[in-house]
Amino acid sequence: MQPTGASIIHINVTDFAAAVAVAKNPSLSETPFVVALEESARTVVLTPSRRAWEEGVRTGMPLRLAKQMIPSLQVLPWDSQSTGEADAAIATIAQAYSPSIQCDRGGHIYLDMQGTTRLFGPVVDSAVQIRGEIRKKLNLEASVAVASNKLVAKVGTRTTRPAGLIQVREGDEASFLAWQDVSLLSGVGSATARLLSVAGITTIGQIAALENDQVLAFLGKRGIALRNAARGLDSSPLQNGLSEKRIVQRKISFAEPILEMDSLKAAVVVAGEDAALAMRSAGLGSAKIHIALLYSDGRRSEASHRTKGQWVYDHEITLVAWKVAQLAASRRVRILSCSLSLAELSPLAPTLDLILPDAQHRSDSLQQSVDRMRHKFGPGILTHGAALAHA
Amino acid sequence: MKSMSTVLIGTSGYSYTEWIGPVYAQGTKREDFLAQYAQLFPTVELNFSYYRMPDATQLAAMHKSASSLQFSIKAHQSLTHTIDPASWREQALSFSHAIEPLAESQVLSAVLLQFPYSFHYEVAERKYLDSLIKTLAPFPLAIEFRNSSWYNNRTLDSLRERNIAIASLDLPSVKGNPPMMDVKTSSSLAYIRLHGRNEETWWGSDSASRYDYLYSAKELTNLLGRIQSFTTHTQKVLIYFNNHCRGQAVANALTLYQLAVGGKACNQQVQALSISM
C-alpha cells in the first residue's frame, strides 16, 4: 500500500485503570468491578470494568447507583503506581516507532509517523504492531486509529473501542465523521449533547453541515470551533513527551524583595491562575502543585502537594498553592521570587463541554466563563481579589 | 481467562479453471476441484451463490464431496444488490432452504451479506437490513459494507446487540473504498476478506485485474497482527483471500498458514487443519 498521508496514530486503552487492574490480576477479567475513590465526598465511578460496563455502569456514575445495579460489584482503589507504570511502558513501546509522541496519561498516546514509512512500512502496519506489542508485553487491549490529525484519530479510537483498528484516509475525514454520534467528538459533553439533541442533531455530520450564522445563533462563538472540528479540521501539533513529565510553570520575580505574606499570596494567586489557564487550554489537569521560593540570601526552599485525583479549577489550584507556599515559606528572610509548577498532568476527564457548561457542575460554568473572558481580553482581565496586592 | 479461537484460512471461491496448473493438477476435471481444494484448506467461501440462487441438493452434494470443509456462502444478489421490496422475502426464503443442509450438517460457518457502494446508511436501508437479519437469524451472519457511511459507532453497536460480525476488509487504499476497520462485533465469529492491494486496477477494470495481487511475506506478517486481535473472545475466525487471479490467493493463504503456525514446515495435509490461536 502507498502511504496515505495520514500519519497520526492514536492509541487508546479503554477504561485504563480497570484494564490495568485486570492485566495485573487476570482473575478479575470476568468480575464486574469499578475503580473509585471511596473516601471522596461524592464518590463516583472513575472507571468501570468491561463486565460492569456491560451491565450499564458508566464513568461518572454515583457509586451508590452502580452498587444498586450490581449488588456484587467490587470496588478497587485507584492504583496510581500500576497505571503510571503501564503508561510509561506504553510510551516506551511507542518511542521505538517515532521520536514524536504525545503521551497523555490514562492509556492515551499519539504518534506522528511522518517520514517513518521507509523504515517501518505503511503507518497502519506500525499501528498494528504497536497494538500487538502492548497486548503481548502488557496484556492490555488497545484501540488504534490512523488519521491525518489528532482529532479524527481520537474519534477513530472512540468508534472502534475497546480493541479495534481503523485507518481514515487523508481527505476522508469529514465523511468518516459524518455518521458518528456527536458524543464521540471532543468538546461535546453531556450538556452540549442535550442541547444538540433538542435541535435534532445527533450525528457529527449534522454539526458539520451548519453554516456560520446558524452556528453563531445556535451555539455562540465557540460553536465555530466545534463545527470546524466536526468537519475534521485540526492542526494542533503533538505535545511531545510524557504528560506527567510536562509541567506548566510560572515564576514571579518581585521588584523589591518581600517579607509580607499578603504579597506572597498575591503572587501565588496570579501565578496559579495563569498556569491553570494554560493547563486547561491544553486539555489537562494537574495532580501535583509545587512551589519554590528564592530568598535574598541565595537559599531556596520548596514544598509540594499531590492529589489522587485531579486539580482543574482556579479556586482549587490557588487554594492548594497557597497552602503549599505557606509550607515553603518557612524562613523569615526576604523573598526574591516565587515559582509555581503544575505537574503530573493528565487529560481532563470527563470531556468538558466546549459550548455549554453542565448545569450540574457550577464550577465548570464559572471557570469556563472566566477562561473565555481571559482568552478574549487577556489573563489579567479577571483575577482573585487577593492577587490585587501584587498588581 | 482468554479463550482460544479456531482460525480457518481459505479462499473466496475455488472453481477457477486458471487454477489448473498453479493449484490443481493438470487434467483435473471441474467436478473434482472441490475435493482437491479440501486437501488444501479447511474452509471455502462460496460466491457462485451470489450470481445464481443455490439449491439444497447442490449444496448437499458439495458437502458430500468435501466433507471436511467448513462453508461460508455469499448471499444472493437479490438480497444485497438488486433488492426488490416486493419479492426479497421470497428470495430470502429460497436462500434459507438452500443452505439448510449445510447448517444441519454443522458445516455452515457463515452467510456473507455483501452490500454495494450504493447501499447507504439511510433509514430505508437500515430498516431493510434489520428485516433481512431477522429473516436469516438462524444462521451465523457476517456483513461487508462497501459504503463508508456504515462505518460508525451506531452500526457497530447494532451489530454487537445482534452478535453479527462486520467483515474486516483489506483493500487498496484508494478514494471510494471504505476505511480499513477491524472491530469485534460478535463473540462467535470474525470474518476477514483480503481483496489485494492493486490500486492501479481497482477501479475501471475487470474483476480478474482488480484482484490481481500477490501479498508479500511482510504484508502477510502484518496481516497476522490484525488477525491476532480477533482471537481473544471470538470462537471462530474466518479468513478468505479473494486475490484469485492466477491462484495467488492460494499461495498467500498457504503462506499465511505457515506464518500463523510459527513458520513450522507443513505439508498440504496439515494445511487443511484449523489453527487454534
Contacts 24+ apart (CB under 8 A), A314-320: A314/A272, A314/A273, A314/A276, A314/A277, A314/A367, A314/A370, A314/A384, A315/A363, A317/A272, A317/A273, A317/A275, A317/A276, A317/A286, A317/A289, A317/A342, A318/A268, A318/A269, A318/A272, A318/A273, A318/A276, A318/A384, A318/A386, A320/A289
For residue A143, give how far its alpha carbon lies from the nearest alpha carbon of chain B (Å).
9
Number of domains in chain B: 1
Candidates A83, A108, A111, A85; CA nearest to A97 is A111
CA distance B261 to B13: 24
Does a structural domain hold residue A257? yes
Does a structural domain hold residue A254? yes
Q: Does the beta-carbon distance from A165 to B184 stay under 8 Å? A: no
The residue of chain A with its CA nearest to that of B199 is A1
Candidates A11, B249, A46; CA nearest to B239 is B249
Cross-strand pairs, B239: B9, B192
Which positions in chain B touch A155 (Cβ < 8 Å)? none
- Evaluate if residue B270 carries a pLDDT over 50: no
Candidates A86, A138, A74, A106; CA nearest to A10 is A106
Q: Walk across the sheet containing A300-311 and list its strands.
A: A248-258, A335-347, A284-295, A300-311
Does a structural domain hold residue A223? yes
Query: Do A281 and A184 lie in a common domain?
Result: no
- pLDDT > 90 fraction of chain B, expressed in percent and rounded: 82
Does a structural domain hold residue A82? no
Q: Does the beta-carbon distance from B148 to A176 stay under 8 Å? A: yes
Mutation target vs A (from B121, B125, B151; most A CBs, 10 A cutoff): B151
Does a structural domain hold residue B264? yes
- Evaluate if residue B1 carries a pLDDT over 70: no
Q: Does the beta-carbon distance from B1 to A1 stay under 8 Å? A: no
Query: Do A202 and A277 lie in a common domain?
Result: no
Taking only residues 4 to 63 of chain A, the set having a beta carbon closer than 8 angstroms to any beta carbon of chain B reads 4, 26, 29-30
Which positions in chain A touch B190 (Cβ < 8 Å)? none
C-alpha angle A34-A35-A39 in degrees, rounded to nearest 5: 115
Residues of B with CB under 8 A from a CB of A: 1-2, 121, 148-156, 172-173, 175, 179-184, 197, 199, 218-219, 222, 225-226, 228-229, 232
> What pLDDT digit, counting tens, does each position of A293-309 carry?
999 998 999 999 998 77
By Cβ distance, the residue of B151, B184, B225 closest to A129 is: B225
Contacts 24+ apart (CB under 8 A), B204-208: B208/B245
pLDDT of the residue at A366:
73
Q: Does the beta-carbon distance from B181 to A1 stay under 8 Å? A: no
Number of domains in chain A: 2
Give me the CATH number covering residue B135. 3.20.20.410
Phi, psi angle pair for A118, to nearest 5° = -65, -35
> What pLDDT digit, counting tens, does each position of A259-297 carry?
999 999 999 998 998 888 888 777 678 889 999 999 999
pLDDT of the residue at A352:
47
Cross-strand pairs, A161: none
Query: Do A384 and A286 lie in a common domain?
Result: yes
Dihedral sign for Cα A19, A9, B163, A137, please.
negative
Total CB pairs under 8 A between chain A and B: 91
Domain range spanning residue B49? 6-276
Of A37-51, A185-199, B146-160, B239-253, the one with minimum mean pLDDT is A37-51
ipTM of this model?
A: 0.91
By Cβ distance, the residue of A26, A135, A167 closest to B180 is: A167
Does a structural domain hold residue A293? yes
Does a structural domain hold residue A53? no
Does a structural domain hold residue A357? yes
Query: Do A257 and A383 lie in a common domain?
Result: yes
> What pLDDT digit, counting tens, does each position of B201-216 carry?
888 777 778 889 999 9
- pLDDT > 90 fraction of chain A, expressed in percent and rounded: 50
- Evaluate if residue B3 carries a pLDDT over 80: no
- Evaluate if residue B153 carries a pLDDT over 50: yes
pLDDT of the residue at A375:
67
Mean of pLDDT values over B170-177: 89
Which residues, given as ranges, of chain A have pLDDT below 70?
1-4, 39-42, 241-245, 283, 347-365, 375-381, 385-391
Of A46-60, B9-23, B36-50, the one with minimum mean pLDDT is A46-60
The residue of chain A with its CA nearest to that of B222 is A125
Does A135 contact B at CB distance below 8 Å?
yes
> Is there a contact between B23 and B250 (Cβ–Cβ < 8 Å)?
yes
Query: Do A195 and A322 lie in a common domain?
Result: no
Q: What's the distance, Cα to Cα, between the start and end of chain A in Å?
A: 60
Grid coordinates in use for A131? Answer: 497494538
Say if strands B6-12 and B236-241 run parallel, antiparallel, or are unpaired: parallel
pLDDT of the residue at A373:
73
CA distance A107 to A56: 22
Cross-strand pairs, B275: B7
Q: Does the beta-carbon distance from B180 to A172 stay under 8 Å? A: no
CA distance B245 to B213: 7
Mean of pLDDT values over B252-256: 96
Concatenated DSSP letters of A247-284: -EEEEEEEEEEE--HHHHHHHHHHHHHHHHHHHHHTTE
pLDDT of the residue at B46:
98
Give me the CATH number covering residue A280. 3.30.1490.100
Q: Does the beta-carbon distance from A2 to B226 stay under 8 Å? A: no
Query: Do A226 and A250 lie in a common domain?
Result: no
Taking only residues 146 to 205 of chain A, the set having a beta carbon closer than 8 angstroms to any beta carbon of chain B reads 158-160, 163-169, 171-172, 175-176, 178-181, 184
Which positions in chain B touch A128 (Cβ < 8 Å)? 222, 225-226, 229
Which positions in chain B touch A169 (Cβ < 8 Å)? 173, 175, 179
Does a structural domain hold residue B1? no
Query: Do A270 and A303 lie in a common domain?
Result: yes
Does a structural domain hold residue B217? yes
For B13, residues 6+ apart whose C-beta sits below 8 A from its C-beta are: B44, B45, B46, B47, B48, B242, B244
- pLDDT > 70 fraction of chain B, expressed in percent and rounded: 94
Binned at pLDDT 50, 70 and 90, residue B9 comes out as: very high
Mean pLDDT of chain B: 92
Is the link from the previous residue into A162 a cis peptide, with omega within 30 of 0? yes
Mutation target vs B (from A2, A165, A203; most B CBs, 10 A cutoff): A165
User: Inter-axis angle of helices B88-104 and B123-135, to 10 degrees?
Assistant: 40
Give me the CATH number covering residue A201. 1.10.150.20
Domain range spanning residue A195? 176-230
Query: Do A274 and A360 lie in a common domain?
Result: yes
C-alpha angle B12-B18-B23 in degrees, rounded to nearest 5: 70
In which element (H, E) is residue A18 found?
helix A16-24
